[in-house]
Amino acid sequence: MTTLALKTRLEAPLEAAGIVPERFAGRPSGAIAGIPVTYGNEPARLGDFFSVNGDGSLEIVLEGDMSRVKNIGAAMSRGKITVRGDAGMHLGAEMRGGEIEVHGNAGDWAGAEMKGGKIRIRGNAGHGLGGAYRGSRRGMDRGVILVDGNAGNEAGSVMRRGLIAVAGDAGDFAGAFMIAGTLAVFGHLGMRAGAGLLRGTIVTFTRPELLPTFRYDCSYSPGFLRLLLEDLRLQGMPVPGDCAGGRYRRYSGDFNRLGKGEILVYDQR
């Protein structure tokens, strides 16, 4: 295990795409400290800001307030990163495998356009969770993101595959322009959830204000959802006791597009 402890307060953003297990594996601490980063608009080294303990391995632990450290675990394909504190923007963006766990909050674009792996955020997530960057045609494409707190706007936007589960509330445009995949929100959904939904599933356990381009179909108990919720409960997500086997009101849409997506609303009657 390699531990990076922040040794100075960051007054500017630190671009640290080099904090990935692949870059650390098999390297001594001195070589890890020499990995290039960008502080503000100036080139620097990782060792200028972190004390490095332990030789390189596929397990990294970050200690301190990382809220200004960007791109932690970006494009990683294996190993594990644990952040004991907050994490900055683009956490795990475009990651392909491995696991990231944050014991705090995460900034905007966590898991953006990820292609595999797992991200667990024990606090809140910012905007664009698992979403697509501006102008991109595809957001999250495989992988799992679990958030114990709330998420900002556009969670799962243009999502192609994978699972996002948010224990708290989600902001506006959750699941906007989703192509496929599953987004489950246990708290309240913001405005215009599923706008432009092509395919895929959005699950909510409160009564959202749906767009008029969604149509009520039926009330039923989805078998796949029972398995999914039971698995999420095993992973520590706060799944209400009777939701796994409960009935859900199915709304299909968005009929401004293909109309083959669905929003499942837990029927509390």
pTM: 0.95
49 token code pair: 């800001």
| Strands 80-84 and 59-63, sheet pairing | parallel
Choose among 28, 18, 81: nearest CA to 53.
28
Rounded to whole angstroms, the Cα distance separating 70 from 152 reads 18
Domain ranges of the chain: 120-137+151-269
> What dihedral angle (degrees, nearest 10) is formed by the CA atoms of 38, 133, 165, 95?
-50
**pLDDT value, residue 174:** 98
Measure CA 119 to chain center.
Answer: 6
**pLDDT value, residue 245:** 82
Q: Contact at 8 Å (CB) between 128 and 106?
A: no
pLDDT in tens, the chain (269 residues): 899 999 989 999 999 999 999 999 989 999 999 999 999 999 999 999 999 998 778 999 999 999 999 999 999 999 999 999 999 999 999 999 999 999 999 999 999 999 999 999 999 999 999 999 998 989 999 999 999 999 999 999 999 999 999 999 999 999 999 999 999 999 999 999 999 999 999 999 998 999 999 999 999 999 999 999 999 999 999 888 788 888 999 999 999 998 899 999 998 76
**pLDDT value, residue 269:** 63
